[in-house]
Amino acid sequence: MSFYKCFRPATMACLASALLISLSAAAAQAKELEWNGIFGLIEAFNVVGVGTPTPPDNPTSGAVTGAAPWVTTSGHAKVDLDSGKANFRVKGLVLAVGSQAVSPGNTLSGLGIGTNAGVTMVKGTLVCNVSGKTGPDQVSVEDDTTPVALSFQGNASFYGSLVDPVPSVCLTNPEDTAFLIRIVQPSPFFDLWIAFGGGLKVEGD
């Protein structure tokens, strides 16, 4: 389409067409991450990300330590890397071990298998640069949602935005990301992860 033709008298349609093309190109660059399933932690104390894992985690580290094994019945999660909007929903997120020692010095006395085991609040966590291969620091980075309630049956949902702006490293390699669900309450288990997103789809490539 000629640039000069757009300045002839009946050119509104021409300008609208050019604007539409421009907006379409911008939209094509948007990155939306979607996980079509939420699954429980299989291996106790499994670590996701690169860095020095500590429970609670070091704020400068993206390494996230897991709790004891949990299971789910269903769930999904979605994060828009441009706007920071996020949502997740999980059903049947319950403890998958009994009240026995799960490692030397760690016991789950009194926690009910098949229930929320006293975990009443959880949050979603986007972990970027999981492999640690991007950036000079070669560590993963985290961004959380605000906490939401977890029912006794293990159901929780969140619709809103991530607490902090999406880290730039998340846009560099959106496939190298993970979505976790972490414990907020009770405080002794704060920031331990218990479920993860699976079946990642990246839209806007």
Q: What is the mean pLDDT of residues 5-17?
A: 43
DSSP tag of 66: B
Is the pLDDT at 62 greater than 90? The verdict is: no
**Residues forming a β-bridge with 77:** 35, 88
Task: For residue range 128-180, list pLDDT tens digits in order.
Answer: 999 999 877 788 999 999 999 999 999 999 999 999 999 999 999 999 999 99
Is the pLDDT at 61 greater than 90? The verdict is: no
Task: For residue range 94-114, list pLDDT tens digits in order.
Answer: 999 886 655 555 555 667 899
Task: For residue range 12-60, list pLDDT tens digits in order.
Answer: 444 334 433 343 333 345 599 999 999 999 999 999 999 866 555 445 4
pLDDT score of 59? 53
pLDDT score of 46? 94
Q: What is the mean pLDDT of residues 110-126?
A: 92
Cα–Cα distance for residue pair 26/24, rounded to 1 Å:
5
Is there a contact between 89 and 75 (Cβ–Cβ < 8 Å)?
yes
Is the pLDDT at 195 greater than 80? The verdict is: yes
pTM to 2 decimals? 0.80
Is the pLDDT at 6 greater than 70? The verdict is: no
pLDDT score of 139? 86
**Segment (H or E) for 171:** helix 169-172
Is there a contact between 149 and 159 (Cβ–Cβ < 8 Å)?
no
Residue type, 3: F
DSSP tag of 29: T
pLDDT score of 124? 98
Task: Return the SS3 of 184.
Answer: strand
Cα–Cα distance for residue pair 23/152, rounded to 1 Å:
46
Residue type, 114: G
Task: For residue range 70-82, list pLDDT tens digits in order.
Answer: 999 999 999 999 9
